[in-house]
Structure 1
């Protein structure tokens, strides 16, 4: 149970940091989660649409449109037409959002990277397996 409690404590700290970032930028925590999903989609080469984002956030169409409108108005997200299907709208994170995120979270990211550099490859693989398993379990619990 010690690992469960430690993981919960880390999760709470990350959640508090996300809420602080949102508050400092005049964002809603859902805005921050949306930006995270869009950044993850870009890294995974997923063509993110408003419908896809709504599914990730469990928002209805109207809520997703309001969210994307707000992020676009703030200069954090850009809508563009899909060149393969002009009817489809794609969402992309603007550099401004990346810069704001890095300015706030960069020092923490640097510390996490430094902590990981202190582990050997076997230890890193064990951490990856554990976190992947926890993530899968959490997603499964959310889908119930």
Structure 2
């Protein structure tokens, strides 16, 4: 049973929490729509986002780091990368400083597909942000960064708490 929210802060916290939940759900729907249109599954989409984020940060992922982020075995990562490479979404390049190291990059075709699909969302996002002053955006950025850190910490805690099911004695 929900308790009555007495203070403005309690009400605001509840509303923000509800909006975050709705935003996450809607963002998942958008991502699934993109994935569905391009024959991708949920893991493929997570991999593409990870590759894109790493590239934007100027630190391209290695297959090993991608596997760590997605909690996949090396064999599963290889199959995933092979599938995404065949579909033209990513490419593998050798590191120029260490030729033994493979780096993952968004392929031109994959980047073009993502840009075409997400351009309208980017325009909507720009319109929303235009309605906020710089000092307000600083607060929003601080909030979103803290919330992102919080969810990643929880994700990692959930991952580490997983226990293999026990076999029944027979």
TM superposition score normalised by structure 1: 0.96
2:120 alignment partner, one of 107, 110, 116: 107
SS at match of 2:33: helix
Q: Unaligned 5+ residue runs, structure 2?
A: 1-13, 158-170
Residue in 2 aligned with 1:15?
A: 28
Matched, 1:2 2:18: no
Task: Give the total of aligned pairs.
Answer: 144
Residue in 1 aligned with 2:144?
A: 131
Aligned residue runs from structure 1 range 61-80, under 5 A: 61-80=74-93
Q: Unaligned 5+ residue runs, structure 1?
A: none
1:28 alignment partner, one of 24, 41, 48: 41
SS at match of 1:86: coil
Residue in 1 aligned with 2:168?
A: none
* Pairwise CA distance, 1:143: 1.4
Matched, 1:88 2:101: yes
* Pairwise CA distance, 1:58: 1.1
Question: Where is the helix percentage greater, Structure 1 or Structure 2?
Answer: 1
Structure 1 segments of 4+ aligned residues over 6 angstroms from their partners: none
State the alpha-carbon separation in 1 of the partners of residues 126 and 68 from structure 2: 31
State the alpha-carbon separation in 2 of the partners of residues 24 and 103 from structure 1: 12
SS at match of 1:45: coil
* Pairwise CA distance, 1:47: 3.0
Q: Please report the RMSD computed on the Cα atoms of aligned residues, expressed in angstroms.
A: 0.9
Greater Rg by CA: 2
